[in-house]
Structure 1
Amino acid sequence: MSTPRVHPVLSSEIDGGPSVSTCRPNPTAAEYNLIHWSRYCDYLAIAAFPQATGGVAMQSAMLRRVRPFEDADGVRRLPRTLPSDPMPRRLRLGQPLFHEGDGAHHVYQIGTGVMRLSRMQTDGRRQVISFAFPGDVVGLPDCGRHTTECEAITECELLAHRFPDHAGPDRTSDRQQFLLDAALQEIRRLQDHFLLIGRRLALERTAAFVTLLLDRIAEPLGRYQVVRLAMNRTDIADYLGLTPETVSRSFTELRGRRILALDDANTVVVLDPARLRNLAAGHTEA
């Protein structure tokens, strides 16, 4: 087994300023937990882009309060374009974009389709870390390498933005802002995942997952909203920390409660979004 890679990071405490720490190992699958990864992304943003984050005095807690890709009024916006000539790419269903440990030379902006990001644990089990949708950016590196597997679970169209070697001051500033936005977005996805799997009951986790998709990719259908699932039950189970059978039972129970309807296995019609959100928040029904 290869020796874990190490790299210097900036450690940031809530009350004290950040300081350069000694080198520490890149997190392993066995050490994986979402709080650690959220802090790790904070370090990434502060250490890699000090100008864009307002200098090394920026606190980790301040980064966590930023909602990436939303303006001051909470309106969702797409990330700005990286100042380089992007290269369009198409991926077929099941085609990998990159593997864990691959050298990272691009970040990828999703135009259409859905990507799955995952890691393999030491016991051979897969942990789905996040799903990426149109407008999302994937591929931020650690020490020049990708830290996850990234695979298309639908046909996808992407823009590949290469990390330039040299750029003028204006281009550098824009590039830093783009990459900072992408890092903050990754933090937000990990925080969402942490909150989601923190739910005690499988039904609550499943409701929280549907709510997440409702806010991201829902389409109107008369008075209702429709969510089209690009992922299968195994993907959802590996994301929620459940079994596929438990996920299927949870969908069946939500349908039985008339919170949602299933046109087919991959088409969810949300009948009662208020009850869905209450259940996702952990409020049990009488």
Structure 2
Amino acid sequence: MLTIADHSISSSRARSADSDHRALTSGEILFREGEPRTHIYRVEKGAVCLFKHRPDGTRDVIEFAFPGDLVGLGYVDHHLSGAQATMDTMLTCTPRAIAEPEPITAPVAVNGLSAAIEREVAFLNEAQRRATIAKPLGRIAALFVTLSRCNAYEGRDPSVLTDSVSCGLVAGYLNMSVDDLSHWLSELASRGLVEPCDRGLRLKNLHELESLAEAAD
């Protein structure tokens, strides 16, 4: 995927309360990821970039919409990507409640809707995958942070969990199998958060472990 850096956005808009057109200046946001999907937009002039945010703040470009293309299609009630004008752009805006009861038959619109639905399914599957990963990782991280704080309170090294905390014991705390725990420990190690040491397990990044624990909550 291509990436583009974020930048400040102009908020000027040429649209009255009863207008069906909207003008965007170059760099202006049409909608943001997570916002309610209220309208379907047809690009009349200019171009719109659809993108997804990465955790590091950059963006993955999904596609560009040019004159004649529709933006905002799909069935999920919120936008799963953002949209931003890449130049001065004019759009025709149709409220979703008006547009969607009518069957979409134009080939370009049908193809656009199919592509939008495929993206929605892919985005939702990825979100589900991340949530599935985050939950056990968050539970393990929460336990490790708790044990680390106990170590600090009792005058031991907070970054080391000793062999006295066996995999079987930890698995029992977390109500998961030893095999599952080993899998998730490997995942934490691949992220650089833990590593084996001669005394047991070293916690390499307590701050990130705390963030994982908070996200699970």
TM-score normalised according to structure 2 size: 0.40
Larger radius of gyration: 2
